[in-house]
Amino acid sequence: MNISSVIVIPHPDQIEPVQRLLREVEGVEVHAVSPEGKIVVTLEAEDDRATSHIFNFVSHMDGVLSAAMVYHQNEPNPEALISLEA
């Protein structure tokens, strides 16, 4: 599993619509919005390819000026670890 943190910067007139759209994207969770309108989200995806796909989708959403990945971590699948221990 890949977990990434992304800062999304929407056009100032599009902060609320961008937040609504982000909440509809599978694998995206909105965590905070700064007073300036920067939106902090996490992306959870199966692998690097899926993470890239979600990040590119978010980056090109209507109303988004830019998106920057600020953290990325690859974790083993917890279910796979449980089945290996059994």
pLDDT digits (tens, 9 = 90+) for 28-65: 999 999 999 999 999 999 999 999 999 999 999 999 99
Cβ–Cβ < 8 Å for 7, 70: yes
Instruction: State the residue range of the domain holding 8.
Output: 2-85
Report the amino acid identity of residue 8.
V
pLDDT in tens, 3-32: 999 999 999 999 999 999 999 999 999 999
Confidence band of 74 (pLDDT split at 50, 70, 90): confident
Global pTM reads 0.84
From 69, 79, 9, select the one nearest 43 (Cα to Cα): 69
pLDDT on residue 15: 97
CATH (domain of 42): 3.30.70.920
Average pLDDT along the chain: 91
Report the amino acid identity of residue 41.
V
pLDDT on residue 75: 77
Q: Is 55 helix (H, G, I), strand (E, B) or coil?
A: helix
Q: How many domains does the chain have?
A: 1
